[in-house]
Structure 1
Amino acid sequence: MSYLFSPTPLTGVPIAGSPDLFPVHRVYCVGRNYEDHAKEMGFTGREPPFFFLKPADAVLVVPEGETGRMPYPSLTKNLHHEIELVVAIGKGGVNIKAADALSHIYGYAVGLDMTRRDLQNDMKKQGRPWCIGKGFDFSAPIGPIVPAQAAGDITNAAISLTVNGGERQRSHIHKLIWNIAETIEHLSSAWELQPGDLIYTGTPEGVAAVVAGDTVVGQVTGLPELRVQIA
C-alpha cells in the first residue's frame, strides 16, 4: 500500500551540540501565563490555564547564529510579537503529576508566538476560535533546543525581546503564573503528550506590533538567541 501523494516531511528543530534534529509532533501554547501580560490584555488574577494549538508545519526553524525570515502574513495590519520559553517533550504521558513533569522534558528553546492581533480580536468579539489569528504559516519561529541538563537553572532565567535593538519585553521565567511542571500537569490531563511535542509557555508583558523590515531578537538566559526578520 502506498500514499496517494508524498506526505509532508516532519519539521525538525536543531539540537544544540548535536547533529540530530528534534522531530515536531504537536505545538501547544499557553494563553495569558504572565500576570502583567494578562493585565495588558484586559484580564487579572490566576485564571485556570488554557491552551491553543498551532500546526506543526507552522514552526519556522532558525539555526543558531542565523536570522530567520518570516513573511509578513496576509489579512492582517497588526502583527504582534510574543517571546516565549519553549519546552520540548522527550517522554510522553497522560495525567502527568507536576512532581514528575520535569522528567518528561527533553530540553528548552527560545520561541515566538506571532499573532495576527486584529484577527484574533475579531474572533474574540464573535466568540469564535482564534485559529486564524494564531495558527497561520510561519507563526511559530524557534531556535535550537538545548537539552535540559545543559540549560542551567531555567526556572530563574531572564526572558527578553528587542525589535531593531530597542527593548520591548523583559521578565523572568519564575514569573509564570503556572510554572513549567504545573503546565505539563494540566496539559497532559487534556491530551496525551508525545515525544516531539513543543509547549510555548506564555509571553510576558510588552507585546506590540512589528512591520516588514523589522528584526526581532528573543533571548532566554542559557539558550541560543532567536533572530527573525519580518520579510
Structure 2
Amino acid sequence: MVCELPQLREMDINPIIVDERGALAVDARIVIGPAAQTSPGRAGKYGHLSILPYPQRYEQLWPLRGGGEYTVRPIHPDDAQMLQDLMKRLSPESRYFRFVSNMAELPPGMLSRFTLIDYDREMALCAVVQEESVSETGEKQTKEKIIGVSRYITNPDQNSCEFSLVVDDAYGGQGLGTRLMLSIMDVAREKGLQEIIGLVLTQNNGMLKLMRSLGFEVKAYPDDPDFRLVTHPL
C-alpha cells in the first residue's frame, strides 16, 4: 500500500478481529499528505521509493520447443541457490564464455550481487521451469529450476546498458537465448535506455551468431582482440 500510495503518511487499524471465518477490521485511521518527491533520475509509478519493489509485471509464460513451458521473470534474492545450481551444471566452456574464468561456482559475494539487485538501474530475467521428482517416501515433488539468465546494468551515461546472457547447456537450441535477450531489451527500452552493448569472446561462435540474428552490430574491440563488441539501438 505504501508503494502504491505515496500520499500515505500514517495508518492505524485497530482492533482487528481474527477467527476461523477470516479477519474483520473494526476501526481504521489513515493520514495522508503531499506525495513524496520522485528520486533524482527516476520516473514512473514508484519513482518516490529508494528501492523499487519486485516488478511482477515482467513475468511471462512461454512454451518450450518439444513440449512443456517456462516462465521468464525478474530474479530475486531467494533464487541464489538455483543460480548456483545453474552455474554448477554449466560446462567448463560455457562458464568460461560467460565469466571469462574457470571458477566452478559463484563466490558468495558475487552470488549475492547477482540476485539482490536494484531493479531501477539494472535488471536480471531468469528462465524457470518446474521440475518434478520423487522423494524418498515416494511422494511427488515439484520445484523450480533456473535454466537461463539475461541481465543488464545501466552505464554511468544513463543512456546505454551492458548485457550478459547464459543458458543451461541442456536447453541449448530451444530459443531460450533469443527470448531472454528480447525480454531484457524490452525492459531496457521501457526504462528509456537508448543502446544495449556487450562484449563477447571471439571464439564464442554461438553467441556471436545469436547476436547477429537479433540485429546486433558485431565489430572489433580495440582494447582486447580476444573480444568482439556487439551493439544494438533500443
TM-score normalized with structure 1 length: 0.29
Indicate the structure whose relative CO is greater, using CA pairs within 8 Å and at least 6 residues apart: 1
Structure exhibiting the larger radius of gyration computed from Cα positions: 2
- TM normalised by structure 2 equals 0.29
